[in-house]
Structure 1
Amino acid sequence: MTMVLALDSSTAACSVAVWHDGVIVAHCFEVLDRSHAERLIPMVDDAIKSSGHKFEEIDLVAVTVGPGAFTGLRIGISTARGLALALNIPCVGISSMECLCACIDGARDGDVILTVLDTKRGDLFVQIFDFSSKALCNVAIIPSDGVINFIEGIAKKTRCIVAGDALEPIQEALTTQGLVLVSSGTKFPDATQVANIAAWRLEAGRAQLPPKPVYLRLPDASIPLNVDGLRA
Structure 2
Amino acid sequence: MKILSVESSAASCSVALSDNGVLIGEEFTNVKLTHSETLMPMVKNILDNTKTDIGTVDVFAVSNGPGSFTGVRIGVAAVKGMADGVGKPCCGISTLETIAYPFFDRNCVVCSLMDARCSQVYTALFENGKRLTPDSAMLISELADSLKSIDKPILFAGDGAAVTYEKLSDSFDNIILADAQNRYQRASSVAFLTEKYINSGKLPVSANELLPVYLRLPQAERELKKKKELKK
Q: What's 2:140 paired with?
A: 144
Q: What's 1:230 paired with?
A: none
Work out whether residues 65 and 214 of structure 1, in 8 Å CA contact, stay in contact via their aligned partners in 2: yes
The one of 140, 162, 165 aligned to 2:159: 165
Corresponding letter in the other structure for 2:178: S
Which 5+ residue runs of structure 2 have no aligned equivalent?
A: 226-232
Corresponding letter in the other structure for 2:23: I
Cα distance in 1 for partners of 2:118, 2:210 equals: 25
State the identity %. 27
Q: TM-score, normalised by structure 1?
A: 0.86
Corresponding letter in the other structure for 1:165: D
Quote the offset at 1:182 in angstroms: 4.3
In terms of mean alpha carbon deviation, does 178-187 or 67-76 score higher?
A: 178-187
Quote the offset at 1:202 in angstroms: 2.0
Q: Secondary structure at the match of 1:103?
A: helix
Instruction: Label 1:119 to 1:42 Cα distance change in 2 as closer, same or farther (>3 A).
Output: same
Cα distance in 1 for partners of 2:104, 2:196 equals: 17
Corresponding letter in the other structure for 2:185: P
Correspondences of 1:78-227 after superposition (within 5 Å): 78-104=77-103, 106-108=105-107, 111-130=108-127, 132-155=128-151, 158-172=152-166, 173-185=168-180, 186-208=182-204, 211-222=210-221
Cα distance in 1 for partners of 2:183, 2:116 equals: 13
Q: Secondary structure at the match of 2:194?
A: helix
Correspondences of 1:17-28 after superposition (within 5 Å): 17-28=16-27
Work out whether residues 9 and 75 of structure 1, in 8 Å CA contact, stay in contact via their aligned partners in 2: yes
Corresponding letter in the other structure for 1:116: L
Instruction: Label 1:127 to 1:105 Cα distance change in 2 as closer, same or farther (>3 A).
Output: closer
Q: What's 2:63 paired with?
A: 64
Q: TM-score, normalised by structure 2?
A: 0.86
Which 5+ residue runs of structure 1 have no aligned equivalent?
A: 226-232
Cα distance in 1 for partners of 2:148, 2:204 equals: 31
Count of residue pairs brought into register by the alignment: 219
Quote the offset at 1:9 in angstroms: 0.5
Quote the offset at 1:119 in angstroms: 1.6
Work out whether residues 11 and 33 of structure 1, in 8 Å CA contact, stay in contact via their aligned partners in 2: no
Q: Secondary structure at the match of 2:220?
A: coil
Segments of 4+ in structure 1 off by > 6 A?
A: none
Cα distance in 1 for partners of 2:183, 2:96 equals: 11
